[in-house]
Structure 1
């Protein structure tokens, strides 16, 4: 959450910019321009902001606010559920999604400004209510994009150029209730937009059981967003963007399990007078917050445009265990608290050198400070042992000492990281139908490791006519592991306890370095648009993430080498009030030899992976989505709409158990699934009232997202069962 002092700093900065530029401005308060001129200038500045960024040669898929409203759930659903409708995106547990089989390699941008990631792995960081347009940009990205290169979630927010207030209530199955409000307005050269919502649900995280109702899975969430801008003159605008989320979760409980521990003499171990614990009674909880703010100055005059932004972000995560239950189930119970604070400065610019050449350049500086504190309760043991004749077995824990009581092991650490980036690229129109976008970026990451790389990029786009567009490109990528997730442990502290690891190697994570090739085409035939895209990726120190332990906090690690390839087919149709889309993606992602944070794995798994390429745990061979909507514009049904959507997956990976009892990590896949959603709604003329009914998982399909096995997989999870939801909104 932004502190009062941080907000005061943003206010002073904005007033300072106003003082510096308002006096000579064409739209100063003493000489206010008419509203129509304000709107025209605002749109021209918006166009200039869009021209600064480019996705030329990359694969881009866009949904506007109208398309989002046509989806079942509309903007009442988490933003990740909207992104799942885009090509090459697959579903995972805890609200995660993967773009082209990348784990957490997504960068969020709001109005061109980079928003540093959250620590949280479930729940939504951003609300769809702020979105005017959202794009997924992936493939061989231009040099402007770096550090997170799996995909760019590029969001253009709503503005206040159209006054209005909308209040709504949405709710239904799983005890869901979600009131919200949106306010937009303007006065002279100033416009604003704000949204806020509260959500309660009895299904906060995916159920760990396949039944209809989860046990101990409630959530309460608050989400707020605000945007305000002021036009300083015909060529300048300042804008302040900010948001805050607060999300409290109960961790869902499995059923039918009984936990208990025995000591070296075979006697039951007692914790707080209990020797056994039923899984239905566990009380584990997690709280996560995320707050960000960005102050931006946009300038556009003649052939030159730039946007400079100062960015701040604070993210926290706190896990509170059930001490008695976890000690009896796992032999350890850990309280965990993480906080990450980021300050950044970003500049992006464009200069139209001639009709053939447009230069783009930019800089990024980011300072991160992460603090982590844990308090681990464990039992002392008779001592760890190691058999050198069986090196793949690692260290073995001793038995719990007779009459042992839990001991507390506190640990705290703080680390700092700085990132420096710069890029330069040229959009070269060689002929009217052939464009080459080439350039390079330099990134240096000075944190747990000091690493750097110069990364060339090149994309070509050919438009021979008749609705055909062909693109191909190459990109060299440099992607450090997510700093806010990097953990450090004092392994020696837990030796000879029930938390002692099987492996005692703990190398620091590396930055992922990757060669990426991409090619595809798009063909428009009347109202149809057909697209086909293929890619090949070769990685060194491939970054992956896993959940290790009860706290739902992901920890990054590296495979020494990785190989990923795939293809995507998309189809869109739009005619009158009817719109339809469909996409299907094939992917294969593998890695070999885990070379960082090895202590999180069993020695036998490390030995196997060191000599074999295995599937990444989040690899899904086939992923797809489809949908259709119809809006009546005339007649008795004018204002009515119906829509349907579907998600399909061939199943994420799980461990394969062989006949001899040995295990192939990620050697199997879970069963495939398809879920369907329906929606119907009606807008009542000029009254401002809008009602909708949504049905999620129409056929109540029971499908498993994770079964609790696989490299870095901590818990099973099932997709939500059928839910019926009703919403009503009123616009003023």
Structure 2
């Protein structure tokens, strides 16, 4: 009895407030305005995670405390009171397992706004429930209204032919509008790189470009690619946002070891381990990859010359619940990769080196060593029911060392350069969201990043007169410099639902870049999403965008040093890379044709000034940034997917055009005749691919899963000023998996067989021509792989634990 009395004390307080409010309203209303018109009150009952509560008992109380109506919630948590007069009321909800909850609603001549009654569980919230609630709050910080979102769930990743052994870039290749390039590069919607990587909503600072995949699908709960007109909180790199939600030891209690490998000398052991103890949870994973085909070789044969690679990566996610609404988490990752650069046999010797009359090109031995380390510390939580926040300081260090074959590079290229580049970025990101105003979600946040790049070149060349070698004794130069960049960003935006079917997200961000140049810009954004009718959604938007250059460049001093040598560039111009500014327009529609069958179409147009592009302009496989004065990119994407019982299939097709004109920086990388042509023509960018297609299917039968996926490309650009293009290519991969439960609680074994390029189609990703392309690269040849994963039985659920 005492417990029931205390439970109603808050209700009594609310009634007092109602009485005061009602008296104030009555004092300002004339009795002549009284009317007999009746109104309807509607609402929904939800728990702390926003899930509907069915069969809740509701009563509507007037200012005197008298109950004027009764109702109960349906399976969707919805309720209504009919025939209600104007006034101020209290909606009181009760349900087994929950504390009584109250919400105030005012009925005016315009009716009443929908009511949300949030009920709190009587028992302490478990850690698993708290984690789910905070994950939902974290997702609310990162909306995607108006853009296109393509998500790979953990199940979808596992159903790929190679499962979680699939490199991240090959996972993303299955999304619409993504074209592959050599060295693991991806091009989304006609942009060169310009990708932003986020882990649990936190943007990682950029690292030095290399071959290795720093991030792995192995630690992902889901991977999403966001494109199009994105809300104001997304900036700097906007061609695509790759958003990774990590596995969590609390929600993903697991332990497994995986042994995978096959042809091309491939060995790839890995492990995953996640669990929790008290308020602390953890998830760690690690993998090693050894292969004899680490980089796309310049030869078509299945076995490349000097192409062995050893790659190791580790990742950890650790979280601690300070209380049920506040979580502190640490994300830490590392990737250390060593690559041999494949040799190209039977090439003619171009230069003479003292005491070395013959040096076959097949014996050229170049190597590249890459390091990446990143850490993110995130404090994330909710305040009441209406305010979410996340504050995340971060740090990332990356370095690339290119070691030349001093003799071979001098003989075949006329220059041998040992190149070291490092980048250390530190900063923080703040995101907040406020839901306290009906039909609005306000978001406010900022981003700060300070980066220091070290660029060291130790180069040997031959003396030359008029571009012709004049001595067979090389001379050496050293050019070391450091570059400091600062980025300051802030944004404010509102997600507004003026009517049930329409969502409008509008806002503005401000970016200031201080590095190679100093530039700033205010960038307005607006996007609309309209649910025309059930199963049909329209979206459209506009975004002003600003993209800073990479923190890498070749100095003017270096070019002057090389004057009168075989390393001298053909052109003298060397304007500093600058920021890109563009206008982006996007519109599309998605439609559920029948249950399980979804189709969509999306179109975009980007008009850019100082369009950023990148290229490899020498034997060191490190990219250089340059700008076109003007750029234009447009295209259309078609998507479709079908999911029914034991079959899932998808198909994505894209048409894209990317062009630029007038080289504004890094002109020394171009031949004079190309510069002249580009200054008077719009040319296709080297990474432009007119048609791109990805498709796949998964079929499960009696415990077996059969999967197949494929990619088609019409070919990247080639030739003088990118006026040609490579032939089309098709690559099809397939796989079979079988899961077997071991007796006596021995866990689960998963057997996997995969074949890459099943039709053994020989194709070139690059042929060595085109702007910023130094050598030819071939796609993978047919190869058979297999693996056994043992899911260990000793992990236990921690969902019953409480903070």
Give the aligned partner of residue 40 of structure 1.
129
| Kept in 1: contact 2:256–2:790 (CA 8 A) | yes
d(CA) in 2 for partners of 1:714, 1:427: 47
2:17 paired residue number? none
Mapping 1:240-389, distance limit 5 Å: 240-261=330-351, 269-271=352-354, 273-301=355-383, 302-382=385-465, 384=466
Q: Distance in 2 between matches of 1:498 and 1:454?
A: 45
Partner-residue secondary structure (3-state), 2:133:
helix
- Paired with 2:556 and 2:271, the residues of 1 have a C-alpha distance of 44
Secondary structure at the counterpart of residue 684 of structure 1: strand
Write out per-residue CA displacement over residues 446-465 of structure 1, whole angstroms, 9 at most, x where no aligned residue: 00100010000000000022
Tell me whether 1:121 sits opposite 2:204 in the alignment: no
Residue pair 1:358, 1:426 contacting (<8 A) in 2 also? yes
Q: Secondary structure at the match of 2:723?
A: strand
Q: TM-score, normalised by structure 1?
A: 0.89
Q: Does residue 611 in structure 1 map to residue 680 in structure 2?
A: yes
**Structure 1 residue aligned with 2:638, among 561, 569, 576?**
569
Q: 2:555 matched to which residue of 1?
A: 488
- Backbone CA RMSD of aligned residues: 1.3
Quote how far apart the aligned CAs of 1:724 are: 0.3
**Contact 1:207/1:720 (8 A) holds in 2:** no
**Pairwise mapping of residues 469-488 of structure 1 onto structure 2 (< 5 A)?**
469-483=537-551, 485-488=552-555
Q: 1:570 to 1:96 in 2, by over 3 A?
A: same
Pairing 1:89-108 to 2, within 5 Å after superposition: 89-108=178-197
What residue ranges of structure 2 are gaps of 5+ in the alignment? 1-121, 793-803
Does the C-alpha gap of structure 1 residues 283 and 34 become closer, same or farther in structure 2, counting only changes over 3 Å?
farther
Q: Is the partner of 1:618 in helix, strand or coil?
A: coil
Q: Which residue of 2 aligns with 1:643?
A: 707
Aligned-partner SS, 1:518: strand
Point out the more displaced range, 462-471 or 311-320. Answer: 462-471
Show CA shifts across 1:49-92 (max 9, x none).
00111011111000011000101111112100000000000010
Equivalent in 289, 301, 309 of residue 211 of structure 1: 301
Deviation of 1:189 after TM superposition, in Å, equals 1.2
> 1:559 Cα deviation (Å)?
0.4
Q: C-alpha deviations, 1:672-724, integer Å up to 9, x for none? A: 11111110010002531111000110010001110000011111111000010
- Name the SS for the 2:469 alignment partner: coil
Contact 1:541 1:561 in 2 (8 A): yes
Structure 1 gap segments, 5+ residues each: 1-32, 262-268, 385-396, 656-663
Offset, 1:432: 0.3
CA displacement at 1:36 relative to structure 2: 6.9
Aligned-residue offset at 1:558: 0.4
2:738 aligned with 1:682: yes
Report the CA distance shift for 1:252/1:35 in structure 2 as closer, same or farther (over 3 A). Answer: farther
Q: Distance in 1 between matches of 2:319 and 2:653?
A: 40
Residues in 2 aligned to 1:340 and 1:674: alpha-carbon distance in whole angstroms: 37
Q: Is residue 502–residue 599 contact of structure 1 (8 Å, CA) maintained in 2?
A: yes
In the alignment of these two chains, the number of paired residues is 663
The aligned residue for residue 235 of structure 1 is 325
Contact 2:205–2:426, Cα closer than 8 Å, also in 1: no
Bigger CA drift: 404-413 or 64-73?
404-413
Q: Does 1:510 align with 2:510?
A: no
Matched residue SS, 2:721: strand
The SS at the match of 1:118 is: coil
1:189-227 superposed Cα distances (whole Å, 9 cap, x missing partner): 111100000110000001211111111000000000000
How far did 1:354 drift? 1.5
The match for 1:414 is 482
Tell me the equivalent position of 1:15: none
- Classify the secondary structure of the residue corresponding to 2:675: helix
| Inter-partner Cα distance in structure 1 for 2:664 and 2:761 | 39
Q: Distance in 1 between matches of 2:302 and 2:203?
A: 39
Return the index of the structure with the highest Cα Rg: 2
Residue 604 of structure 1: SS of its match in structure 2? helix
1:147-203 C-alpha deviation (Å, 9 max, x unpaired):
001100000000001322110110001110000011101011111100000110000
Cα deviation digits, residues 562-614 of structure 1 (max 9, x gap): 01110000001111121111100000111000000111111111010000000
1:466, distance to aligned residue in structure 2 (A): 2.2
State the alpha-carbon separation in 1 of the partners of residues 153 and 740 from structure 2. Answer: 22
Q: TM-score, normalised by structure 2?
A: 0.81
